[in-house]
Amino acid sequence: MKKRVVISAALLAAVVAGAGLYAVHIQPFEQVDASTTPTPPLAVPVVASVVAQHDVPIYLSGVGTVIAYNTDVVRAQIQGQIISINFSEGQTVHAGDLLAQIDPRPYQAMVEQYTGNLERDQAQLTNAQANLKRYTQLGDKGWATPQLVETQKAQVGQLQAAIKTDQALIEAAKVQLSYTRLTSPIDGVVGIRQIDVGNIISPSTTNGLVVVTQLNPISLIFTLPETDLPQIQLQQQESRTPLPVLAFSQDNRIQLDQGELGLVNNEILQTTGSIQLKANFPNNAHRLWPGQLVNARLLVDTRHNGLTVSAAVVQQGQNGPYAYVINPDNTVAVRPIKVAQISDGQALIDSGLEANERVVVDGQYKLQPGARVTLLRGKAAEEAAAQDAQQAPIP
């Protein structure tokens, strides 16, 4: 009995010692091993799109100023008092429309005076011609001297010349009378009235009556770097038709009109190294206005089957532009790219991407090469884009 008790006590002591040894020496190492097991990284939420392939227009972009196709200052060609104004400021007028009336009475009186002189000289000519006929008959019979006949012929010629002068004076007076009507020389829009009813206007009046500006068609003068000139000339030779030009608002959000290239100026501006171009637009909606600053896009080519992505895909690094491409296993890789142009929020890719590849549009600042991503769609994508815009570091 005593022997069994001694053996049981020994076994119990061995078990307790083994448990203590495990707790002190083995269990901490097991905990360390468990804690060093790597945890897989969380997927980064991003917005993605697919590289599209389609025909892409190639534009040369410049800044230009709208100018009126025609601008005329309506001036008086005679002096007189304005008795009526026949237009409203900002009114659309047509060529020949009456804009103002100068008092016509002095010029009408001149027409009547010269008309009276004409009638007088015509009556005298009739009498002189009758006398010449009688003197000629008497001269033939020897009853009148040749000198008398010649004198009468001279008087007839003098009166005929006087009648021509009277007729010329009447025509000149009528022209002066017509100048009392100040009319629009072109179709256009009138500006601010420069003189009021009752004032005296004359050819020396500095500002004239009003300025009429033709708005349709209208012109745009814009500049491009001189390095673009060979490409423009080559395209003109190949197409043999006027190159299309698009006019956009300063923020490039609104297309104002589409026209045609009318002129490449005959010299390069040495001070700026640029070439001036002039385009004409129909401007039927009057969205282009003289003096307006707009962005011009000259269409010089169309790339068939071009690759495009959202402009937000393009990132700038130390070695140039790049994009994050999403692999089939939803990890991302950095891909260097070459960009031909960025227009209307779309980037035309020269190289670095393939059609239908998935690229990251938003959320790039959270990414590293090899990172796993999860794709956001719909409202979640919009919210993520807005959040990224607030959190993204300012370049």
For the ranges 13-17, 112-116, 158-162, 177-181, the lowest mean pLDDT is seen at: 13-17
CA dist., res. 17 & res. 127, Å (int): 165
173 sits in which H/E element: helix 146-178
**At 395, is the pLDDT very low, low, confident or very high (cuts 50, 70, 90)?**
very low
Cβ contact 151:139 at 8 Å: no
Whole-model pTM: value is: 0.68
Confidence of residue 14 (pLDDT cuts 50, 70, 90): low
Please tell me which of 8-22, 173-187, 231-245, 370-384 the model is most confident about, judged by mean pLDDT: 173-187
3-state secondary structure of 253: coil
User: How high does pLDDT run on average in the chain?
Assistant: 86
pLDDT digits (tens, 9 = 90+) for 33-92: 545 555 566 888 999 999 999 999 999 999 999 999 999 999 999 999 999 999 999 999
Segment 305-318, tens digit of pLDDT: 999 999 999 999 88
CATH number of 59-69+216-302: 2.40.30.170
Q: Please tell me if the domain spanning 46-56+304-386 has the same topology as the one spanning 104-179.
A: no
Q: What DSSP letter does each residue of 180-213 carry, written as one string?
A: TEEE-SSSEEE----S-TT-EE-TT-SS-SEEEE
Confirm or reject CATH 2.40.420.20 for domain 46-56+304-386, answering yes or no. yes
pLDDT (tens digit per residue) in 311-353 = 999 999 888 999 999 999 999 999 999 998 888 789 999 999 9
d(CA 282, CA 247): 12
Segment 371-380 shows an average pLDDT of 78
Predicted pLDDT of residue 383: 54
Fold of 104-179: Helix Hairpins (1.10.287)
| Domains in the chain: boundaries | 46-56+304-386, 59-69+216-302, 74-98+185-214, 104-179
Question: What's the confidence (pLDDT) of residue 135?
Answer: 82
- Host H or E run for residue 65: strand 52-68
What one-character DSSP code corresponds to residue 234?
A: H
Q: Is the pLDDT of residue 239 over 90?
A: no
The pLDDT confidence band at residue 394, using thresholds 50, 70 and 90, is very low
3-state class percentages of the chain: helix first, strand second, coil last, to nearest 5: 35, 35, 30
Helix (H) or strand (E) holding 238: helix 229-239
The 10s digit of each residue's pLDDT in 258-288 is 999 999 999 999 999 999 999 999 999 999 9
Q: Is the pLDDT confidence value at 4 over 80?
A: no
